[in-house]
Structure 1
Amino acid sequence: MPPGPFPPADLSPGSVIDADRAAIAVGEAVGDEAGVETLRCNVVFTPSGRAGTVSAGTTVLDAARDLGVDLDSVCGGRGICGRCQIVPSMGSFPKWAITARADALSSPGATETAYGGRRPLGADARLGCQARVCADLVVDVPPESQLHGPVVRKSIDVGDIALDPLSTLHAVTVPPPTLDERRGLAQIVIDCVAAEWGVRLAGILPGALAELHASVAAGTPDDAGNRLVTVAVRWSGPEPSERNGMVAAVWPGVVTAALGVAIDIGSTTVAGHLTDLHSGEVLASAGRMNPQIRLGEDLMSRVSYVMMNPGGAPELTALVRDALAALIAELCADAGLEPASVLEVVLVGNPIMIHIALGIDPTPLGQAPFTLATDAAVELDGSELDLPCSAARVYVGPAIAGHVGADAAAAVLAGGPHRDEAITLLVDVGTNAEIVLGSSNGLWAASSPTGPAFEGAQISCGQRATPGAIERVRIDPTTWTPRVRVIGCDLWSDEPGFAEAIERQVAAGSRSAAAGVTGICGSGIIEVIAEMYLAGVLCADGVIVAPPSGGERATRVISEGRTSSFVLYEPPEGTGGPTITITQNDVRAIQLAKAALRAGIDLLCERAGIAAPDRVQLAGAFGAHIDPVRAMVLGLIGDCDPDAVCSVGNAAGTGAVRALLSGSQRAEMERVVRDIRKIETATEPRFQELFVAAMALPHATAPSPRLSTVIELPERTDPGASGGARSDRSPRRSRQRRRR
């Protein structure tokens, strides 16, 4: 039987109500089989609009269950958990022919008056399990009181999904043992859940069984020796009506927090979100560096480490599992909760990261045909991954193919290209870019080996996105004078007070008195290469132009033998800090990375038979800070309407949270993944041709008519001409050019 938020009760027309429980104001008198007259009251629940009649004296919680209204409860109507809060609506409601008065509900009793649970009573709110219907009534059920209601969002936007948790809590009273009792304690608890909640369970999991006696013995006692405990139930099965439930944990007293953690295991960062499975609220978010970085910065280097070092695989596995355990502990500490309350964990990530986390040899993914151990979703207990939540079930999302993993599947779930007829390009840029293209008519996917250049690695002054890193760049096309903006300061470098602000703000952020502009991060790298091309510092093939001797331009370019460097930032005299330059090798590294990404995109477009997508979604922290116009100038993505390019944030993490909060979302992700067509760029002959063409800025052959409507591009030169052929002219300045 599927999970339900309400305990059972007799709501038949003949149910007997004690006279001292309710003062009957209005209603319709009916007779039961014994001839006892019982009044019926009209009740309407908003926002669902469900309506019906119930016997006067019925609790609002029981009325909600009788009418099929989604009203949460963990304590089973004991007035402890506070999850069944409702707000009565007073006044005239012609739509339902109801006039609701203040006496339509019973006055607060001793239990409700003394309530002091973790969730305080809101303004005008009542406890649905204690408030009794006395007359015709309109009741509002707020979102936070709906078990399957819309998600309450914080720090991460998962969209409007209906909560469908696969772990639920049920408080029950367990009778004291007797010599005549033939049932084991596990069966007694299971029978209590059936009797008090109308929920039939299939059994108990081994982890819960081991602690069962101690948990019940520590339960809250009453005068009869009964013990109040909370039973955590884990559900499995494709659809709610077909799911089976097992006891996953038994905790003493009433526990109201059913927690879940969604984690995206990135090659650089491990990021997680702690949520309340009953409300969908994100309670805490945190991230930490993946400790495997010290053994290899990108995915292939970690596979190489396993190949070349005996015991390398267990070492990498231990590192990532330690990071997962520490992250869960940190998230729970931030929310003031215990890791033992975590019942669900969802993990997504690149296939290599997932293989390592599960203790599976990743080396087959290091060479063709890149065979996965499994592309299906995997479920296991938290203890199997050494997590500090032994009662938790860990759900590892399905993979699409050898290098398009569960993180891409989660990003698709969040971005939703399969739900729309518009053709969407979803790009998650990392050391291995994952690309999905398509619509409700079908999806294609590919991965491109972009390497770590976009994250600051392989760049002479590159760094991660931390205070002091240059994130925005503009270059004057006449003088080649640059201006920059850095993380930690809202001022541009040519604005008054920049020097003082950067020293003060960045020093505080880095705890270093000598802090200043320290390097350039991914979004800044995109912008500086694009701006260098727009200003004429770079020609289309990526060569830094030698300026005429003398003049302001000459001060910006430093000759280094056969190559040159562009001076992007010089610290003010006397302030210290490095001079930030962009070398010819830096430009080449970015060209190689962007060409790999662009070739993958172009290959998918060819397979889909389209020239360009209708819209582009840039995922990840990198995508959140990219200027779409500069990305198109670089040629990172094809020519499209810049207004149709948007950031979807941490799409993989968002999809993981959606899968955490809803079993239906997991089923949708698994269903979509099965139908995605994977294009393997590593073995596709056409990929190399597209890669070579994509090396140029913005592209060797593809025109940019849409981009040209918002920014003026330099005129193309003869491909055989010298890079210096453009040095004697300044590119024209467009009135539409965006300088902010």
Structure 2
Amino acid sequence: MSQDTSTADPLVIFTPSGKRGRVPAGTPVLQAARQLGVDLDSVCGGRGICSKCQITPGYGEFAKHGVTVHEDALSEWNAVEARYDRVRGLATGRRLGCQAQILRDVVIDVPPESQVHKQVVRKAASARAITMDPATKLYFVEVTEPDMHEPSGDLERLAAALEAQWDLPGATADLSLLAKLQPALRKGGWKVSVAVFRDHTAAAPRILDIWPGLHEGGLYGLAIDLGSTTIAGHLCDLVTGEVLASAGLMNPQIRFGEDLMSRVSYVMMNPGGDAEMTRAVREAMARLAEDLAGDAGIDPGLIVEATLVCNPVMHHLFLGLDPTELGQAPFALVSSSAQALGARDVGLATINPRARLYTLPLIAGHVGADAAAVSLSEAPEASEDLVLIVDVGTNAEILLGDKTRVLACSSPTGPAFEGAQISSGQRAAPGAIEKLEIDPVTRAPRFRVIGCDLWSDEAGFAEATAQTGITGICGSGIIEAVAEMRMAGVLDASGLIGSAEQTGTARCVPDGRTHSYLIWDGSAEGGPRITVTQGDIRAIQLAKAALYAGARLLMDERGVETVDRVVLAGAFGAHISPKHAMVLGMIPDVPLDKVASAGNAAGTGARIALCNRAARAQIEGDVQAITKVETAIAPKFQEHFVAANALPHASDPFPHLSSVVTLPEVSFNTGGDGAGGGRRRRRRS
């Protein structure tokens, strides 16, 4: 008789994919990953030689996942892991997935370097003309030689030269700079180049570095967008403003929780959890800085400045501040002001030891420096017409305004737009479906995957994707898939997927008490079966409803029913068509030509603040004038949220959308068994 292991078998949850399942106790992590379709590399056949399958287990209470992970969740180190660590070294907390066995419920993070299909970071730098006036500049000075008859220190004479020759009075220097001072002055024959930091405040100039003679190696800065899911960085020339390199990596905090409140809960339930997350994100950011310098072929020591934008929870965790108060009303910040810090004091140890870090101000307890950066980039306060700016990620930042008034809020959309919590979802990587169309007559899909410009029904597609395969569906793909399903009539306005008989296509397959839509079946060749399930539809509905409800709250505050134009910011804005966004009801109805993409607006705002010190003063003033709307306590949020669950909306008209798209009037809620918006069936006793 087969044993029922539905409750006895350990539950394993993989991040960042969000895939989960139960496996028999003693199952190696690598085997569990393969069974669940998790992207975990291995080339040595599980012999502990290649190290490609390194993973990081998370311990403690994970309220988001409903599990508590104990220290004995994985088997103890074995001889293979000990030998590998002795010979080649394993980072603290890492295990080899082919050796570690799952014994109890566990949350396991697959780091980027262990993923077969490396993530494509889509937060690229957008082209933008910026008036260059960075806080750190290079100055060439001639210093008076020492004289016994006029005793003074070399630093004092360097400071006097800066004042006389460059009008920089009262320059100071850290102790570590003083150790370089005398050798540089003498080697340069009393002619030196100095990097001097002077920001928009009245603080005295600060000497960050010194070189003998004329330094021609350049000065560089980092603009960093620290997101809940992705950390994106841009390495900029502080003279020209040119972006020399852009890169990104997954935020390692995702293993503690996919959304912000999950991470706050982790801190509440696990003493020392905040320090654990602070350490993880600082190490990742230091590694990103080093990688960017390597990509650009520059000495990391020439990176003398950085700017940082992020949401309030990320802000607090990065700075080493307890975010607990942000998890409950009144959502009190430790500080909302901009911060000017030593980069090394917050873990950026891979750049110049005296580099400075500037964090943009926060707007409110749930509206962060990333929203301030979007405001700096898109300038809603200068708009003649009423503009809605939406920066969608795991947490959506929303701005609404014009010359008369600007409002802001954030809305907890969750990770579904990033491809997480989706049955076949994955991060953006080669092989992931990113665009999709469904024929309205045959209901057959055609799609494109990242890394290939051909559509799936075009000649040469199979050959072009042979190496990457078709591995899953990323955020932009799932959004287009759901919208296309609605336009093709396989999904009704309530979000219910019809049966094969109701829709006329065998691609609508039974899936428990509901149905799924089959996009791709690669099982015959050992590949995945990619479907959109009723649960996927529900996840997208919840995310888009939260987004739309946030926008509606701002419109209510302004007393308007429509906006003049919409700006989509972030990776979402660059990769989703306005039509698909509007079919889902993610954004209010406007003419499609009034919907524009701003690219990575938060990253652009960080670059503006890096390259122009006056912009720092501007945004510090602007955030004081922004009206903050708190979605978590707004009485009408739930009302807007419920109505926005329909596709596109239960009551708000979409006349501009109707002029370009005719949505089929279908309803599949015949038995009340739809999880996507129909009535719930009463549970039988």
TM-score by length of 2: 0.77
TM-fit CA distance, 1:180: 2.7
Q: 1:199 aligns with which of 152, 167, 176?
A: 167
For the structure 1 residues 455 and 425, does the alpha-carbon distance in structure 2 shift closer, same or farther, using more than 3 Å as the test? same
Q: Does 1:275 align with 2:249?
A: no
Match of 2:176 in 1: 210
Tell me the residue number matched to 2:507: 556
Q: CA deviation at 1:541?
A: 0.5
Which of 429, 434, 442 matches 1:471?
A: 434
2:491 counterpart of 1:545: no
Q: Distance in 2 between matches of 1:457 and 1:156?
A: 24
Alignment of 1:61-100 (within 5 A): none
Pairing of 1:604-683 with structure 2 (within 5 A): 604-683=554-633
Q: Work out which of the residue numbers 486, 495, 514 in structure 2 matches 1:533.
A: 486
Aligned to 1:523: 476
CA contact (8 A) 2:496 2:669 kept: no
CA RMSD of aligned residues (A): 2.2
> Please, which of 375, 399, 422 is the counterpart of residue 436 of structure 1?
399
- Separation in structure 2 between the aligned mates of residue 155 and residue 527 of structure 1, nearest angstrom: 21
Q: Distance in 2 between matches of 1:531 and 1:214?
A: 63
The match for 2:149 is 180
Q: Which whole-Å deviations, capped at 9, do the CAs of 1:450-489 have from their partners, x for residues lacking one? A: 1111111111001111111111111122221111111111
For residue 543 of structure 1, give the secondary structure of its aligned residue in structure 2.
coil
Max Rg structure: 1
CA offset digits 1:649-673 (Å, max 9, x no partner): 1110000000000011111111111
State the AA in 1 paired with 2:518: V
Residue 163 of structure 1 is matched in structure 2 by: 132
1:79 is matched with which residue? none
Q: 2:363 aligns with which of 373, 380, 400?
A: 400
Q: Is the 8 A contact 2:509 2:518 kept in 1?
A: yes
User: After superposition, what is the alpha-carbon deviation per residue over 1:56-75, rounded to whole angstroms, capped at 9, x for unaligned?
Assistant: xxxxxxxxxxxxxxxxxxxx
Matches within 5 A, 1:317-336: 317-336=278-297
Which residue of 2 is the match for residue 379 of structure 1?
340
The amino acid across from 1:290 in the alignment is N
Q: Secondary structure at the match of 1:260?
A: strand
Cα distance in structure 1, aligned partners of 2:206 and 2:577:
49
* Aligned residue type for 2:282: R
Local SS of the residue matching 1:604: helix
Counterpart mapping for 1:669-708 below 5 A: 669-708=619-658
Q: Distance in 2 between matches of 1:459 and 1:383?
A: 38
Indicate the residue corresponding to 1:350 in structure 2: 311
Cα distance between partner residues in 2 of 1:158 and 1:227? 41
Residue matched to 1:709: 659
2 CA distance for matches of 1:557 and 1:664?
Answer: 57
SS of equivalent residue, structure 1 residue 218 = helix
Listed one character per residue, the Cα deviations across residues 54-113 of structure 1 (whole Å, up to 9, x for unaligned) are xxxxxxxxxxxxxxxxxxxxxxxxxxxxxxxxxxxxxxxxxxxxxxxxxxxxxxxxxxxx
Mean CA deviation greater in 655-664 or 255-264: 255-264
Give me the whole-angstrom Cα distance separating, in 2, the residues matched to 1:349 and 1:221. Answer: 43
Contact 1:216 1:229 in 2 (8 A): no
CA-to-aligned-CA distance 1:509-529 (integer Å, 9 cap, x gap): xxxxxx411111111111111
User: Structure 1 pair 218/249, CA: closer, same or farther in 2 (3 Å)?
Assistant: closer
Q: 208, 222, 236: which is aligned to 1:261?
A: 222
Instruction: Identify the residue that residue 302 of structure 1 maps to in structure 2.
Output: 263
Q: Using the alignment, how far apart are the partners of 1:304 and 1:356 within structure 2?
A: 13
Distance 2:512 2:277 in 1: 42
Asked whether the equivalents of residues 424 and 473 of structure 2 are also in contact (C-alpha less than 8 Å), the reply is yes
In 2: Cα distance, 1:364 partner to 1:259 partner: 36
After superposition, give the CA deviation of every residue in 1:191-211 in whole Å (9 maximum; x if it has no partner). 22234x242321313x2x433
Quote how far apart the aligned CAs of 1:560 are: 2.4
Q: 1:369 Cα deviation (Å)?
A: 1.2
Q: Is the 8 A contact 2:172 2:204 kept in 1?
A: no
Which residue number in structure 1 is paired with residue 463 of structure 2? 500
Give the count of matched residue pairs: 549
Looking at structure 2, the residues matched to 715 and 477 of structure 1 have their Cα atoms a distance apart, in angstroms, of 13
- In 2, the alpha carbon distance for the partners of 1:641 and 1:403 equals 30
Structure 2: distance between partners of 1:285 and 1:686 = 41
Supply the distance in 2 between the matched residues of 1:500 and 1:458 (Cα, whole angstroms).
30
Distance of 1:574 and 1:496 partners within structure 2: 21
State the partner residue of 1:251: 211
Q: CA deviation at 1:243?
A: 7.2
What is the alpha-carbon distance in structure 2 between the residues aligned to residue 606 and residue 328 of structure 1?
42
Distance 1:297 1:213 in 2: 45
Displacement of 1:678 in angstroms is 0.9
Q: Relative to structure 2, which stretch is displaced further, 170-179 or 629-638? A: 170-179
SS at match of 1:160: coil
Residue identity matched to 1:199 = D
Give the C-alpha shift of residue 586 in structure 1. 0.8
Residues in 2 aligned to 1:237 and 1:460: alpha-carbon distance in whole angstroms: 49
Q: Matched residue of 1:683: which SS?
A: coil
Q: Aligned equivalents of 1:259 and 1:458: distance in 2?
A: 39
CA contact (8 A) 1:539 1:723 kept: no
Provide closer, same or farther for how the CA distance between residues 337 and 299 of structure 1 changes in structure 2, counting only shifts above 3 A: same
CA 1:675–1:529: 2 relative to 1, 3 Å:
same
SS in 2 for 1:682: coil
Q: Label 1:293 to 1:253 Cα distance change in 2 as closer, same or farther (>3 A).
A: farther
Could you tell me whether the CA contact under 8 Å between 1:346 and 1:660 is conserved in 2?
yes
Q: Do structure 1's residue 600 and structure 2's residue 550 form an aligned pair?
A: yes
Q: Which amino acid aligns with 1:588?
A: R
Match of 1:110 in 2: none
What are the residue-to-residue correspondences of 1:137-156 with 2, within 5 Å?
156=125
| Aligned mates of 1:304, 1:722 — CA distance in 2 | 35
Tell me how far 1:390 sits from its aligned partner.
2.0
Partners of 2:544 and 2:585 within 8 A in 1: yes
Pick 1 or 2: higher relative contact order, CA cutoff 8 A, min separation 6: 2
Q: How does 1:116-155 map to 2 (within 5 A)?
A: none
Q: Cα–Cα, structure 1 residues 254 and 713, in superposed 2: closer, same or farther, change >3 Å? A: same
Say whether residues 1:390 and 2:353 are aligned partners.
yes
Q: Any stretches of 5+ residues in structure 2 without a counterpart? A: 1-122, 675-685
> What SS class does the counterpart of residue 444 from structure 1 fall into?
strand
Distance across 2 between alignment mates of 1:483 and 1:213: 64
Task: Map Cα deviations across residues 350-382 of structure 1 (whole Å, 9 max, x no partner).
Answer: 111111111110111111111111111011111
Counterparts of 1:349 and 1:464, CA distance in 2: 20
Aligned to 2:72: none
Residues 616 and 220 of structure 1: is their aligned pair in 2 closer, same or farther, counting only changes over 3 Å? farther
Match of 1:235 in 2: 198
Whole-Å Cα distance in 2 between the matches of residues 348 and 198 of structure 1?
Answer: 32
Structure 1 residue 637, shift from structure 2 partner? 0.7
